[in-house]
Chains A and B, each alone.
Chain A
Amino acid sequence: MAVPDMRLTVDHATVQRGAWSLFADGTFSDGIHLVSGVVGSGKSTLALVMAGLFVVTSGTVKRDGIKSMMLSMQFPEFHITGLSVAEECESWGLDTGTVIRSARLEISGSVSPLSLSRGELKRLHLACILARKDDLLLLDEPFSSLDCGEKERLCSQLNARSQGITVIFTHEQSAFPRVDQIWEIQNGELFNVGKMPEALVRWQHAPALIKKLLDAGKCPANLTPDAIREAACRTHGSG
């Protein structure tokens, strides 16, 4: 049976908070979307709007074909509802042992989640989130508090998501999964920069390395380490 197309449509949504405002208009379909923007540009607010947890001043947010949704907030503490790691895993409907192994943590299920370091807690939280396989996955700064190895592992897990919409809100500059579309928030407005790799040349918040490669006439096929390495090693005329 064919899986119906999933679509998240943000239709002329406006958020007004005093002098600060955010305007978003666009459709997010299957694949991995990267929403970039400077700190304070409204990435977290947009994530809450898309999750339906923030009432917009005007406009609408529509979900077509999306049966389940999850938002991962930047700070994992906010997601804790259990007094122990085991209770926390149960609150997600997951087996404690499986989650601990998946997060590569060496802890007991009886410890308090608040006794874990921010990095450990983030790993535990992401393991819970990724185990659910939701149709729409909204990740607000998923790479914060993770070391390089864990960032790479998260990218691999995101790449392995076989279907659904993944939206990553981040100002991360070094670790990325295979991205399908780039968006950016500038001056209070969400812009669709375009699909990969054409979007790279128009991407204002592109990491310095990407800009350098583009200046050298080497456009990487994607943002994954392999794609960047391939572009960097490319000799003129071979690509």
Chain B
Amino acid sequence: MQDARIRLGSAALLSVAAFISVEGACAVFIWWLLFTPRMRSVRNRSMILGMLALIGVVAAMIMISGGNWVSYFARMGVILLVGMWLYTEQEHGDLLSVAVWAFGNRAGFELGMVGECAMQVAEALSGDFSRIQFAMRLKGDVWGIKKLVPAGLILIHDAMVRADTITELLAARGYQKGGTLCPKFRTGPVDLLAGTCAICVLIFALIPVSEFFILYR
């Protein structure tokens, strides 16, 4: 999908649709099969497995407490797929362009820049995480739950240091508020079709399934 506005908008609508109901999640899954490169859109398979495991843990807790764990697992799993697709398709500057297009050169620029910084940190975190795992292997340590605390602390610490550095750089360059950007977008026919389908998916998720079969009843 070329148009960042439609991509971000679709992702937001699809996430809401998947969260509302299992039927919505099924529709979102079909949308994901039709309009994304499917598993090719997953950049880091070990990361998605880790996140799926995390969702699985929560689902297990829901199951133990007698809740509908299937619904939770299906809905969150589909949201994860949409998120992964969005993350992979994202290009540098997309968030800034969309935010400026939507909210202008002052608030939009600020918002977009925060989003871009967050994306940069997310990219760096993945690299940092593999290096931490390398270091543990070098020490002969086995990766496990106990190692999560120091690894998490290092990741948070590094993210804070990066944020500090970016802030100082912006201040040193005289940045105060807002900026100027003329965003340009390329919209293809597939983008329009995918965007329209995403709206339909949300409408489908909002209307109870029984309403579709009202005549049958």
Contacts and interface: CB of A to CB of B under 8 A. Distances in A.
Contacts of A71: 134, 138
Contact of A79 (B135, B149, B153, B157): B135
Nearest to B134: A53
Given A78-B128, A81-B141, A81-B151, 14 more contacts: A51-B134, A53-B134, A73-B131, A78-B134, A78-B135, A79-B135, A79-B138, A81-B150, A83-B149, A83-B153, A91-B141, A114-B153, A114-B154, A114-B157
A70 B138 contact: yes
Interface residues of A, number: 17
Interface residues on B, range: 10 to 19
Nearest to A128: B139
Interface in B100-144: 128, 131-132, 134-139, 141
B43 interface: no
**For the complex, would chain B's binding face be called helix, strand, loop or mixed by DSSP majority?**
helix
A114 B158 CA distance: 9
16 contacts: A51-B134, A53-B134, A70-B138, A71-B134, A71-B138, A73-B135, A78-B131, A78-B134, A78-B154, A81-B135, A81-B139, A81-B141, A82-B150, A83-B153, A91-B139, A114-B157
Contacts of B157: 77, 114
Contacts of B184: none
B45 interface: no
Contacts of A196: none
Contacts of B132: 78
B139 to A, nearest CB: 6
Contacts of B141: 81, 91
A39 to B, nearest CB: 16
Q: Which 5 A-B pairs have the closest CB atoms?
A: A78-B131, A79-B135, A53-B134, A114-B157, A78-B135
Contacts of A80: 135, 150, 154
A155 interface: no
Contacts of A48: 134
A92 B154 contact: no
B147 interface: yes
B126 to A, nearest CB: 13
Nearest to B136: A81
A51 B135 CA distance: 11
B135 A92 contact: no
Nearest to B135: A79
B134 A81 contact: no
> Which of A71, A80, A81 has the most chain B CB within a 10 Å cutoff?
A81
